[in-house]
Amino acid sequence: MLTRLLSNDLPRSRPLAILLLVLLLGLAFAPFLFPGVKALNVAAKVLIFIVLVASFDLLLGYTGIVSFAHTMFFGIGAYGIAIATTRMGPTWTALGVGLGSALVLSFVLALLIGLFSLRVRAIFFAMITLAVASAFLTLASQLSEFTGGEDGLTFKVPEFLSPSYEFMDEEFLGVMLDGRLATYYLLFVLALALLLTLLRIVNSPFGRVLQAIRENEFRAEAIGYRVVVYRTVSSILSALFACVAGAMLALWLRYNGPDTSLSFEIMIDVLLIVVIGGMGTMYGAAIGATLFMIAQSYLQDLLRLGSEATVALPWLSALLSPQRWLLWLGVLFVLSVYYFPTGVVGRLRLRSAQRQAGRGG
């Protein structure tokens, strides 16, 4: 039954399976295991990024398309929720309308972008999506009456999900049962469901054709698959999932602005996670997102320590400054692409496969 749930795409490596199980349990019980606001924030971000990165992996790892417009769909989802609840009030209807219109917009944009890939080559496509994403970011900052401009929109969520709403007066296992908890578990269920859905998609016949196209587009076309159609569908699906991830983000933060969901830094984060976790594996998104979020939140403290310790050498201290977080990220990113192209998941699977081969083969 577990096999069916995972769409026959098992971890194929005991260490990986254990890691995933630990991750699942950790996230499921995070509010109880890791008390404190910061920890819960990290856990929520992990959930959101798992969906965001997994949807990107569908496009990059399985279909072989590099698109920098992914954060645009993330932003559309977030703004959908933000704008709807700002204008229609914090009701479930508003959430529905917001998410619904965001999904429709994502669909249309992804369709246009996908169809455009008919006429241009992969490199062109990557550059075009970069341009489009930049333009969208500028647009979001400029349409202030609609999007709140640079300052963004702060809004309330339906009562059930809002932090002030309490289910019970006393704490349960040390944690207050309030709307925040409810929101967290909503995110958890969504993330789990969406990841499993993505697994199903990539392991379906459709998914296999995508991989065939990634490997050898010419041959796939020659066999009879209309490559453009498959690519377009893949980019639409990827966009829709990213859109939902954006909605999840907005729900959690109860705020959205251009930098929160549309910034280039987020695109880099997604790229880094998918590369480190392992492209074309889906599980890589989960492992990668966890490693990344933990590192991002706690490594900056480590950097600060390092920076203070090396005050005597100003240039070293400046290099280790916690604001230079992105520098080390970049170095890690470049090293990963070179030495670690299959990512954590790929490495673990390779090791297990080698062990299997050595054992009995």
Partner 1 sequence: MNNSDFDWKPVALVPLLALLVFPLIGSGSTWLTLTVAGLAMGLIIFVIASGLTLVFGLMDVLNFGHGLFIALGAFVATTVLGSMSDWTQSDELWRNLVAVLPAMLVAMLVAGAVGLAFERFIVKPVYGQHLKQILITMGGMIIGEELIKVVWGPQQIALPLPEAMRGVVLIGDAAIEKYRIMAVIVGLVVFGALVWTLNKTKIGLLIRAGVQDREMVESLGYRIRRLFIGVFVVGSALAGLGGVMWGLYQQSVTPQMGAQVNVLIFIVIIIGGLGSTAGALIGALLVGLMANYTGYLAPKVALFSNIALMAAILLWRPQGVYPVANR
Task: Summarize as ranges the residues that interact with partner 1 (CB under 8 A).
Answer: 64, 66, 116, 119-120, 122-124, 126-128, 130-132, 134-135, 138-139, 142-143, 264, 268, 271, 275, 315, 318-319, 321, 323-324, 326-327, 329-331, 333-334, 337-338, 341
Residues 6+ apart with CB under 8 A from 134: 264
The least CB distance from residue 8 to partner 1, in Å, is 27
Distance between CA atoms of residues 125 and 108, nearest Å: 17
Q: With respect to partner 1, which residue has the nearer C-beta, 86 or 129? A: 129
3-class SS of residue 103: helix
Tell me the Cα Rg of the chain: 21
Q: With respect to partner 1, which residue has the nearer C-beta, 188 or 292? A: 292
Residues 6+ apart with CB under 8 A from 266: 71, 74
236 touches 107 (CB < 8 A): yes
The least CB distance from residue 109 to partner 1, in Å, is 13
The least CB distance from residue 51 to partner 1, in Å, is 21
DSSP 62: I
The least CB distance from residue 326 to partner 1, in Å, is 5
Residue 202's beta-bridge partner residues? none
The least CB distance from residue 336 to partner 1, in Å, is 9
Q: With respect to partner 1, which residue has the nearer C-beta, 138 or 204? A: 138
210: closest CA among 192, 229, 191? 229
The least CB distance from residue 218 to partner 1, in Å, is 15
* Residue 133, token pair as written in the block: 């994403």
200 touches 7 (CB < 8 A): yes
Q: With respect to partner 1, which residue has the nearer C-beta, 144 or 354? A: 144
